[in-house]
Structure 1
Amino acid sequence: MMKVLVVEDDPFVREMAVTGLEDVGFEVTQAASGGEAMRLLQAGIAVDALLTDIRLPVADGWTVAKAYRERFPHLPVLYVTGYAERTQPVPGGIILSKPYRMAQVIGILGTWVA
């Protein structure tokens, strides 16, 4: 079972993502801020993929992804954003614009399950 960390500060969007992923069999851990995601990393959680908003309180999605990639060098990262972002994702990362459909997210994560 693939373990996914969902980092999203909007409670409605976070719940939609968590429920959608759990409904198709993913094991999901969630964080409501970049700071919370960083605390989970420090606590030693292991994940197979990261789904993160880019604009987050405390630490943005770029910072979260970089920190997770230091520990898990080949971690797939799916960024979601409602803004036009100029910064490039970590290598292997994909940017998906909000609003997104859960089918898009599930399809992308499904290609990373091997």
Structure 2
Amino acid sequence: MSTPPTVLVVEDDFLIRTCLIEFLEDSDVSVLEAENCATARGFLHSDRALDLLIMDISLPDGSGAELGQESRQIRPDLPIIYTTGHGMNLDGASPIDRVMTKPYQLDAILNVVHELVPTS
């Protein structure tokens, strides 16, 4: 039996965050939740196991893109799915990063989670 992946969801929109978390948990994914950069930093700097980061680009207390760069310094092998309603270019990004444009299909996010965090 494999261990479910642990995903940190960083999304300031309550409805989007709640729907995504519920869908992921129903799909056997363990989820940690943050509504802003400050809370996400707490998880990133902790000893908690993280397999993937799903992060909105526009957050109330900072840039998701900058937080992604910061997280890469802390956890260099952590895959990131950036979500945005405004488009984003990932020039020079890691091959383990993806961009999903809002509105996205929940099953499409789950497919990328499974692509970036293969289960054994």
Q: 2:56 aligns with which of 53, 56, 66?
A: 53
**2:45 alignment counterpart:** 42
Structure 2: tracts of 5 or more residues without a match: none
Moved over 4 A (4+): none
**Where do 1:13-28 residues align within 5 Å?**
13-28=16-31
> For 1:51, what is the secondary structure of its paired residue?
strand
TM-score when normalising by structure 1? 0.90
Matched-pair identity in %: 30
Q: What is the rounded CA distance, in whole Å, between the counterparts of 2:89 and 2:109 in structure 1?
A: 21
**2:36 alignment counterpart:** 33
Q: From the superposition, tell whether residues 89 and 83 of structure 1 become closer, same or farther in structure 2 (CA, over 3 Å).
A: farther
Number of residue equivalences: 114
Q: CA deviation at 1:83?
A: 0.5
> For 1:25, what is the secondary structure of its paired residue?
coil
> For 1:39, what is the secondary structure of its paired residue?
helix
1:112 and 2:116 equivalent?
yes
C-alpha contact 1:48 1:75 (8 A) present in aligned 2: yes
1:34-55 deviation digits (Å, cap 9, x = unpaired): 1211122233333100000000
> For 1:13, what is the secondary structure of its paired residue?
helix
Q: CA deviation at 1:87?
A: 5.3
Q: Considering only aligned residues, what root-mean-square deviation do their CA atoms show, in Å? A: 1.6
> For 1:63, what is the secondary structure of its paired residue?
helix
User: Which deviates further from its counterpart, 78-87 or 1-10?
Assistant: 78-87
1:84-112 deviation digits (Å, cap 9, x = unpaired): 22454731211110000101000011112
Q: Computing the radius of gyration over CA atoms, which structure comes out larger, 1 or 2? A: 2
> For 2:40, what is the secondary structure of its paired residue?
helix
Q: What is the rounded CA distance, in whole Å, between the counterparts of 1:32 and 1:89 in structure 2?
A: 27
C-alpha contact 2:45 2:74 (8 A) present in aligned 1: no
**Where do 1:67-82 residues align within 5 Å?**
67-82=70-85
